[in-house]
Structure 1
Amino acid sequence: MTIQADKETIVVENFIKGQRVESISQSAKENPANPNEIVGYFPVTTKEQAAEAIAAAAEAFTVWKQSAIDERITRMRKAIEKIRAAENDIVQLLSREHGKPLYDAHGEMYVALMWMEYACDQAKSVLQEEVKEHETGKTIISHDPIGVVAAISPWNYPIALSTIKIAPALLAGNTIVLKPSPFAPLAATKVAEIIAGEFPAGVINVVHGESDVGVELTSNPLVAKIAFTGGTETAKHIMKAASETIKHMTLELGGNDAAIFLEGFDVNDERAMRRIVVSNFLTAGQICMIAKRVYVHRSIYDAFVDKYIEAANRWIRIGDPFDPNTTVGPVNNLKQKQYVEGLVEDARKRGAKVIPLGQILDQKQIEEGYYLQPTLVLDCDYRDPIVVEEQFGPTVPILPFDDEEQVIALHNESIYGLTSSVWGREEDAIRVARRLEAGTTMINTAAVQGLDVRFPFGGVKQSGVGREYGEEGILTYTETHVINVPKALDLPYIPE
């Protein structure tokens, strides 16, 4: 296959100490909807360049950590304004390199900007020094910056999951080295450069590359904290690399998120059925917090499946991400396409019923790009790979359950615990939700439809360590420093 670059090809470089730094070679990023088209090029960063970026961040930290919180907020707000001014161009670039439809790319920008604005609004109060006067003296509690942050972002929400790290890290007084995913490197780099333009040189640096660069970011002794969003297996290697210098870590990892539909759920609620369909297939199913397995009480199972198929066929329209009629685009890369195809084929061989969903808008384009028609998988076993593994693509199994104890056990036996959702009468749903092992449980909605950046987000078990968003998502980039000023210096139980 001959790949042709088109006239709108974008080229990004490493960004170190306020300057674009060229690399010896470049990698091409294709358009998932049309792999013959090169969207842009990004650098093959060397390990030495990564070390240079870390050193630049460490040097900048000595000054930036002393900056006033008002200055940090003012600079971040100016960056937000510039991102808003460039939003349409960024969204189109994101859609071309990632494959997500334009409305979905705008949605990602909405979440990213909403979080950045919230972080600016809350930073001063969250990071404010506390002084506590008490009978034994005075205690000062401050939230100090940690140092250099190595931020590694994924390809599924490259802008939102980069800014979720950049904004709080910088507002807390840290410096940062960002490594976007090679599967979606362009738009994230553009956004990072816009932010960097409002901050002193070296406060924000951007590198690219493969595992050797990742090893440098996670093992270099100048790095004080790692903020990583990605797969659980990769996180295990990161924890090992970071252990030599005991780095701070925030890890938001994989999830096999379950949606549970209780006996009292109304299958005739069309809006609710649309919400679960969107929660399964938004971004072609490539969201960490999307509902990836659906459990339905046996008493409503048959009716639920019928109504689900109706809702899916109404909402799902597979096509060109730039077509306003498209709701589901291609998956991001060939490797992911093949992985999801393998899970579906394995389920079929095990005796499952695979039902294609939605309307294909352009069959020729579907055949040329990294497209997968969304599928519903029925009659599979609770232990089949398509149920217990994270598909991260446009397919979902629906399984019946008989009682609450059974479905709670099925939910909790997973090694993951990122998000979950329970659907039905509110009091019943909350009762079940309290027994689920998950970082977040949503009631009568799921995925980004239930996301609120004002509150912490993260996983339990092998879905992660720490929390992002909310006040906790700001404080995670700080060290708590306690200064005690006692009145009585002689303790009564120590003899003279």
Structure 2
Amino acid sequence: MTIQADQETVTVEAFINGQHVKSLSQLAKENPANPTEIVGYFPVTTKEQAVTAIEAASGAFKTWKQTSIDERITRMRKAIEKIKAAENDIVHLLSREHGKPLYDAHGEIFVSLMWMEFACNEAASVLADEVHEHDQGKTIVSYDPIGVVAAISPWNYPIALSTIKIAPALLAGNTIVLKPSPYAPLAAAKVAEIIASEFPAGVINVVYGDADVGVELTSHPLVTKIAFTGGTATAKHIIKAASETIKDMTLELGGNDAAIFLESFDVHDERAMRRIVISNFLTTGQICMIAKRVYVHRSIYNEFVEKYIEAANRWIRIGDPFDPNTTVGPVNNSKQREYVNGLVEDAQKRGAKVIPLGQILDRNRFEQGYYLQPTLVLDCDAHDPIVVEEQFGPTVPVLPFDDEEQVIKLHNESIYGLTSSVWGKEEDAITLARQLEAGTTMINTAAVQGLDVQFPFGGFKQSGIGREYGAEGILTYTEKHVINVPKMLDLPYIPE
């Protein structure tokens, strides 16, 4: 069944200092479910326009940083209400340009608003001065805004991973220049402009473009902080570009998150099996914190695989994103589809068994779009590319392990450490979780199902620098400013 959405073509432009700025050229964004359909157009921002946006943000910062926290929160709450009012239109646009099923697009808005509302609720207390009275006098610790933030968001969760930066940056008194991904620029731009409508000109700016614009945002001396979500390889270039001016950075990067199933896990728990399937294939497997490799204790391995296939075939329905029966849509772009397909083909050549999962609802649409049928990969080696590389698509390897020491080693030898999950009796799972190198470990759930925006999120090793969400996700957009008022002004060990 194919459900046709509104076919209106959307055009977005750079938004600089409160004004739309035309560009000399534009790029088309296709619908991944039907690449012949153009969803909209976005501009090719020039390096000079990027500089203008940075300068506008720098100019606006001088006034914006002086506003009260109450004013900042009030403006952000008004923006939240506008996003809620426009949610259906945003969801339809996001689904068309990204390929997310409608329920998944609504889920992204849900997570975005949940974080924005948490940030509004907590900002006043988190950013309040700390006043310490002590024997030596008084010390005030204030949390001052950093300045101009360059925010670069990815295509997999373009709205959530833009608002995760916009909300705390502005609440802390900073200004921002946002660069959405060219693979999903439209809905993120619309949301950014809705927020911008409640703030003074120059506080929020939106630019587009490729490497030259990215280099300008990450190297310009007026930019004082970089907030980036994306691949580890790109982050290495960002770090180099930022090194000349020693910028503050929050980097949420790649992950090859493991799900570990202990001997105590009940393979007959249908709800748990459904949770792990969703943890592998939500958003077609294109989430940084998705469970990308599965380790199962050998004593339950065969039965686990059997029950997993049953659960996957019940939940996975591949089809048009606007079909309410669809649970898995297309891969976002042809490049990513080719990469994931290459990993699966490589695994087969190495002797792995590849099992297709789920039901294809519309064979014609499937063959027309950037679709891949989800697959389970068995009998592969623990060091095959499909296991050690981040697939970021609808495939997952499942491997047996014999003891906890072995699986801890397999988990921790990865260059990544974003999230992980351990499944089984709670006490046993927590004991094992403490030995894993990961920013977040979830017990008996994984991925978005275990996300709590009240607590910090980020990774070990090459999965990133710093944390987002929670109070830490607000404070990361501030600098601590210590003001000392000592009682003893003349130190006894310094001579007259």
| TM-score category of the 2 structures, normalised to the smaller one | over 0.9
Instruction: Give how far 1:447 is off.
Output: 0.1
CA distance in 2, matches of 1:448, 1:232: 21
What residue in structure 1 maps to residue 3 of structure 2?
none
Q: In the alignment, does 2:236 pair up with 1:236?
A: yes
Partners of 2:7 and 2:39 within 8 A in 1: no
Deviation per CA, 1:89-132, whole angstroms, max 9, x where unpaired? 00000000000100000000000000000000000000001111
CA distance in 2, matches of 1:107, 1:146: 31
**Secondary structure of the structure 1 residue equivalent to 2:417:** coil
What residue in structure 2 maps to residue 55 of structure 1?
55
Instruction: Give how far 1:47 is off.
Output: 0.4
Alignment map for 1:62-77 (pairs within 5 Å): 62-77=62-77
- Unaligned ranges ≥5, structure 1: 1-5
What residue in structure 2 maps to residue 129 of structure 1?
129
What residue in structure 1 maps to residue 338 of structure 2?
338
What amino acid is the match of 2:422?
A: V
CA distance in 1, matches of 2:162, 2:227: 10
Q: In the alignment, does 2:363 pair up with 1:363?
A: yes
What amino acid is the match of 2:378?
A: L
Alignment map for 1:13-28 (pairs within 5 Å): 13-28=13-28
CA distance in 1, matches of 2:296, 2:327: 25
CA distance in 2, matches of 1:187, 1:316: 26
What residue in structure 2 maps to residue 282 of structure 1?
282
What residue in structure 2 maps to residue 104 of structure 1?
104
What residue in structure 2 maps to residue 411 of structure 1?
411
What amino acid is the match of 1:65?
A: K
CA distance in 1, matches of 2:131, 2:281: 49
TM-score by length of 2: 0.99
CA distance in 2, matches of 1:360, 1:320: 10
Q: In the alignment, does 2:89 pair up with 1:95?
A: no
What residue in structure 1 maps to residue 445 of structure 2?
445
What residue in structure 1 maps to residue 475 of structure 2?
475
CA distance in 2, matches of 1:7, 1:313: 32
What residue in structure 2 maps to residue 316 of structure 1?
316
What residue in structure 2 maps to residue 264 of structure 1?
264
Deviation per CA, 1:335-377, whole angstroms, max 9, x where unpaired? 0000000000000000000000000000010000000000000
CA distance in 1, matches of 2:354, 2:424: 26
CA distance in 2, matches of 1:200, 1:285: 38
What residue in structure 1 maps to residue 139 of structure 2?
139
What residue in structure 2 maps to residue 298 of structure 1?
298
**Secondary structure of the structure 2 residue equivalent to 1:325:** coil
Q: In the alignment, does 2:428 pair up with 1:432?
A: no
**Secondary structure of the structure 2 residue equivalent to 1:8:** coil
Instruction: Give how far 1:495 is off.
Output: 2.3
What residue in structure 1 maps to residue 493 of structure 2?
493
What residue in structure 1 maps to residue 388 of structure 2?
388
What amino acid is the match of 1:299?
A: S
**Secondary structure of the structure 1 residue equivalent to 2:8:** strand
What amino acid is the match of 1:361?
A: L
Give the percent of matched residue pairs that are identical in Structure 1 and Structure 2: 84
What amino acid is the match of 1:84?
A: K
What is the number of equivalent residue pairs in this alignment? 491
Deviation per CA, 1:390-424, whole angstroms, max 9, x where unpaired? 00000000000000000000000000000000000
Deviation per CA, 1:121-166, whole angstroms, max 9, x where unpaired? 0000000011111111111110000000000000000000000000
Deviation per CA, 1:28-59, whole angstroms, max 9, x where unpaired? 00000000000000000000000000000000
Alignment map for 1:34-45 (pairs within 5 Å): 34-45=34-45
CA distance in 1, matches of 2:257, 2:402: 20
What residue in structure 2 maps to residue 3 of structure 1?
none
CA distance in 2, matches of 1:55, 1:127: 26
CA distance in 1, matches of 2:30, 2:87: 21
Instruction: Give how far 1:490 is off.
Output: 1.1
Could you say what the CA RMSD is over the residues aligned between the two structures, in angstroms?
0.6
CA distance in 2, matches of 1:184, 1:276: 27
CA distance in 1, matches of 2:264, 2:47: 57
What residue in structure 1 maps to residue 378 of structure 2?
378
Instruction: Give how far 1:491 is off.
Output: 1.2
What amino acid is the match of 1:128?
A: A
What residue in structure 2 maps to residue 397 of structure 1?
397
**Secondary structure of the structure 1 residue equivalent to 2:416:** coil
CA distance in 2, matches of 1:95, 1:362: 17
Instruction: Give how far 1:429 is off.
Output: 0.2
Partners of 2:285 and 2:394 within 8 A in 1: yes
Instruction: Give how far 1:7 is off.
Output: 4.8
**Secondary structure of the structure 2 residue equivalent to 1:287:** coil
What residue in structure 2 maps to residue 186 of structure 1?
186
